[in-house]
């Protein structure tokens, strides 16, 4: 039970990161490997503003602003000049940006991990003496809210529809008068803002920051996004939570624990074998 709740919490974080991944992938058609490092930047921003102001809420706001600006900046400087070039070229600049952010963080904050205290919100005891910390509930609840809000945004608003159109067919969307560059920029802004939220929840669960904080959650969230079907918002959520729960269960069984990573990625392979485009991914028929 405990493991399940822990898994859900971790899964919530993965899901939030995966949402960012999946949005950017769905619309810009690029794997943004720097996404994990934007989370790292968000975490360091929270760390710095907490030290200055002492209250988490302004820290989160500042982090959202910083991450969004950073997301826009990287998109403008590193990705937009390569629009129209091979997607692999963009993949590599994304990796370059990832290295760049990591080394800048190390130069500014040093390599030692810094402790961040988001404040202990306490915990509540549910049935069967299972105590759940409030931050866990908050993480999951907010994840859910964000997901629903995003889905509504994409489905119901005009801008959201434009996003869908761009992800379906960029050229056709452009012909329909949609500002493709603007939409892609907006997607990066939303994805980066989500990353800032992800770093908030991350710090609630794991209260310390290092320059390499983002890389592993980044890869796992990428995996989660693929499990759920890349490009699908509820898919990212399901994939993230599934991955978090599996990871926690594997870690709690002593025999399996050393193989946790193998099990997580094994799950991915198995799922893709049966559903080649992920759990909720759209099947695309190839046209000649």
Site string for other proteins, 39-78 (x = CB under 8 A): ---------------------------------------x
Please, what is the minimum distance in Å from the beta carbon of residue 92 to other proteins?
5
The answer to whether residue 100 forms part of the interface with other proteins (CB under 8 A) is yes
The answer to whether residue 93 forms part of the interface with other proteins (CB under 8 A) is yes
The answer to whether residue 286 forms part of the interface with other proteins (CB under 8 A) is yes
Task: Name the token pair of 8.
Answer: 């859900």
* CB of 4 closer than 8 Å to CB of 68: no
Intra-chain end-to-end CA distance of the chain, in Å? 51
Subset of 230-269 contacting other proteins (CB under 8 A): 230, 247-248, 251-252, 254, 257-262, 265-266, 268-269
Taking the least distance from each CB to other proteins, the nearer of 175 and 255 is 255
The answer to whether residue 110 forms part of the interface with other proteins (CB under 8 A) is yes
Distance CA 235, CA 230 (A): 7
* Closest C-alpha to 122, from 136, 133, 112, 113: 133
Interacting residue with other proteins among 57, 171, 175, 288 (CB under 8 A): 288
Please, what is the minimum distance in Å from the beta carbon of residue 114 to other proteins?
8
The answer to whether residue 159 forms part of the interface with other proteins (CB under 8 A) is no
Interacting residue with other proteins among 2, 55, 65, 169 (CB under 8 A): 2
CA–centroid distance for 276 within its chain? 22
Helix (H) or strand (E) holding 156: helix 134-156
Distance CA 146, CA 185 (A): 20
Taking the least distance from each CB to other proteins, the nearer of 177 and 276 is 276
Burial of residue 92 (CB within 10 Å: 0-12, 13-18, 19+) is middle
Task: Name the token pair of 43.
Answer: 């975490």
The answer to whether residue 211 forms part of the interface with other proteins (CB under 8 A) is yes
């Amino acid at each position: 039970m405990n493991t399940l709740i822990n898994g859900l919490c971790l899964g919530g974080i993965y899901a939030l990161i995966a949402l960012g991944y999946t949005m950017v992938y769905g619309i810009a058609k690029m794997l943004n490997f720097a996404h994990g490092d934007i989370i790292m930047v968000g975490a360091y921003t929270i760390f710095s503003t907490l030290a200055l102001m002492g209250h988490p809420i302004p820290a989160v706001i500042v982090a959202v602003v910083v991450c969004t600006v950073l997301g826009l900046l990287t998109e403008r400087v590193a990705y937009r000049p390569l629009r129209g070039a091979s997607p692999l070229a963009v993949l590599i600049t994304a990796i370059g940006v990832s290295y760049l952010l990591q080394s800048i963080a190390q130069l500014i904050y040093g390599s030692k991990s810094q402790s961040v205290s988001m404040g202990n919100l306490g915990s509540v005891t549910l049935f069967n003496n299972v105590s759940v910390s409030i931050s866990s509930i908050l993480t999951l609840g907010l994840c859910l809210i964000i997901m629903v809000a995003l889905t509504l945004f994409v489905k119901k608003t005009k801008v959201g529809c434009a996003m869908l159109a761009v992800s379906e067919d960029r050229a056709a969307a452009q012909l329909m008068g949609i500002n493709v560059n603007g939409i892609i920029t907006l997607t990066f802004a939303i994805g980066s803002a989500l990353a800032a939220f992800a770093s908030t929840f991350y710090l609630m669960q794991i209260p310390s920051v290092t320059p390499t904080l983002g890389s592993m959650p980044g890869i796992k969230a990428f995996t989660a996004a693929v499990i759920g079907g890349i490009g699908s918002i509820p898919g990212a959520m399901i994939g993230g939570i599934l991955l978090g729960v599996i990871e926690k269960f594997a870690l709690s069984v002593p025999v399996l624990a050393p193989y946790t990573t193998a099990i997580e990625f094994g799950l991915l392979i198995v799922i893709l074998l049966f559903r080649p485009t992920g759990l909720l991914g759209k099947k695309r028929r190839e046209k000649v």
